[in-house]
């Protein structure tokens, strides 16, 4: 489903990258909140949030780790907050859903299928790590299945069923679109569906233009006009995938969770840098960025005044 305005999501910091990979990766609550505000000022309507342990940068899914970030962002911005229920691939679903269930955000991410989640190729680029967990985090992904079973998905939907929270359905492969269609058929999720297609992570679909087209054609066939299409490209695929989707009438996600880069061999110094770059692409195509309020209307969200933070 294409709309006139482009919704830009910025994923501020996540479970893929570690602090030793970039000095610009936000880690503390204050850094994450500030990065989110800067991304909004650059044009993002939605900020997708993970939390980290401020001492070592490890992903932290405790609600108390999220609260100061949420309070700062809400106080200083009108943006839509999208809380992760993905957390990190080694976490159980009960741990991953707790912040969204407690804080009742307007939007939360929901991974739509189990998959291999291979981060170990990053060991070819990054050799020196400050914290013991970082190398282990990458190496152990050789034998890691990111679990998102039907039961897990139902658990997340049930935990947030009374919240009025809608979901960014993260689909890493074609089968995930069919999983989403299954939950639509059962009446457990309702349109409009915010479908985030993820390209270029080892274990999911690749980043080729034909992969993007195949996911789009499949979603069109399954959901018709009942969905809002968005994409993210991992690593160096971020801007090419965003440009392709923007040209096709879609929405885009950027941010340091998905890619540390701002061009070949050049680390992005801020999340806002990536938002500014994708904004140039979008506006160069003659399209406009959606404001937070416009995005709320497109996605039919409940509003900032009905969250619990």
pLDDT in tens, 161-200: 999 999 999 999 999 999 999 999 999 999 999 999 999 9
Determine which helix (DSSP H) or strand (DSSP E) holds 8, and give its type and residue range: strand 8-11
Whether 301 has a pLDDT exceeding 50, the answer reads: yes
Q: Which CATH number describes the domain made up of 5-306?
A: 3.20.20.70
Mean pLDDT throughout 238-261?
Answer: 98
CA distance 79 to 201: 28
Mean pLDDT throughout 71-76?
Answer: 98
Does the N-terminal peptide bond of residue 192 adopt cis geometry, omega within 30 degrees of 0? yes
Mean pLDDT throughout 12-36?
Answer: 98
CA distance 250 to 193: 13
How does pLDDT run across 251-296, given as a tens digit for each residue? 999 999 999 999 999 999 999 999 999 999 999 999 999 999 999 9
CA distance 262 to 243: 14
Mean pLDDT throughout 222-239?
Answer: 98
How does pLDDT run across 138-166, given as a tens digit for each residue? 999 999 999 999 999 999 999 999 999 99
CA distance 66 to 54: 12
Whether 4 has a pLDDT exceeding 90, the answer reads: no
- Concatenate the DSSP letters of all residues of 51-101 into one string: -B-TTT--B---HHHHHHHHHHHHHH--PEEEE-S---TTS-HHHHTHHHH
pTM of the model: 0.97
In 3-state terms, what secondary structure has residue 191?
A: coil
| Secondary-structure breakdown of the chain: helix, strand, coil percentages, each rounded to the nearest 5 | 45, 20, 40
What percent of the chain lies above the pLDDT cut of 70?
99
What local confidence, expressed as pLDDT, does residue 1 receive?
Answer: 43
Rg (the chain; Cα; Å)? 17
Domain boundaries, the chain: 5-306
CA distance 218 to 216: 5
| 3 pLDDT tier (thresholds 50, 70, 90) | confident
Instruction: Give the mean pLDDT of the chain.
Output: 97
What percent of the chain lies above the pLDDT cut of 90?
99
What local confidence, expressed as pLDDT, does residue 199 receive?
Answer: 98
Choose among 235, 233, 257: nearest CA to 244: 233
Joined together, the tokens standing for residue 264 give 């070949």
Could you tell me which residues come within 8 angstroms of residue 4 by beta carbon, excluding any fewer than 6 positions away? 287, 288
């Amino acid at each position: 489903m294409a709309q006139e305005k482009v919704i830009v999501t910025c994923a501020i910091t996540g479970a893929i990258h570690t602090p030793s990979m970039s000095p610009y990766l936000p880690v503390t609550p204050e850094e994450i909140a500030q990065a989110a505000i800067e991304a909004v000022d650059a044009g993002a309507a939605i900020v997708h949030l993970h939390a980290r342990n401020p001492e070592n940068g490890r992903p932290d899914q405790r609600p108390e780790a999220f609260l100061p970030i949420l309070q700062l962002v809400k106080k200083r911005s009108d943006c839509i907050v999208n809380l992760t229920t993905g957390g990190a691939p080694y976490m159980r679903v009960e741990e991953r859903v707790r912040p969204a269930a407690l804080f009742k955000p307007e939007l939360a991410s929901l991974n739509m299928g189990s998959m291999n989640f291979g981060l170990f190729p990053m060991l070819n680029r990054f050799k020196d790590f400050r914290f013991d967990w970082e190398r282990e985090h990458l190496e152990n992904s050789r034998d890691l299945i990111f679990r998102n079973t039907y039961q897990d998905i139902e658990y997340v939907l049930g935990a947030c069923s009374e919240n009025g929270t809608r979901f960014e359905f993260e689909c890493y492969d074609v089968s995930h679109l069919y999983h989403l269609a299954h939950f639509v058929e059962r009446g457990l999720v309702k349109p409009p569906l915010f479908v985030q297609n993820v390209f270029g992570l080892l274990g999911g679909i690749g980043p080729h233009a034909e992969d993007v087209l195949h996911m789009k054609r499949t979603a069109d066939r399954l959901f018709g006009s009942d969905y809002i299409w968005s994409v993210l490209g991992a690593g160096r695929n971020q801007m090419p995938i965003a440009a392709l989707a923007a040209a096709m009438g879609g929405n885009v996600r950027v941010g340091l969770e998905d890619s540390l880069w701002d061009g070949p061999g050049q680390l992005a110094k801020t999340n806002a840098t990536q938002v500014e770059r994708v904004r140039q692409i979008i506006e160069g195509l003659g399209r406009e960025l959606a404001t937070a309020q416009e995005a709320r209307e497109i996605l039919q969200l409940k509003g900032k005044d009905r969250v619990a933070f």
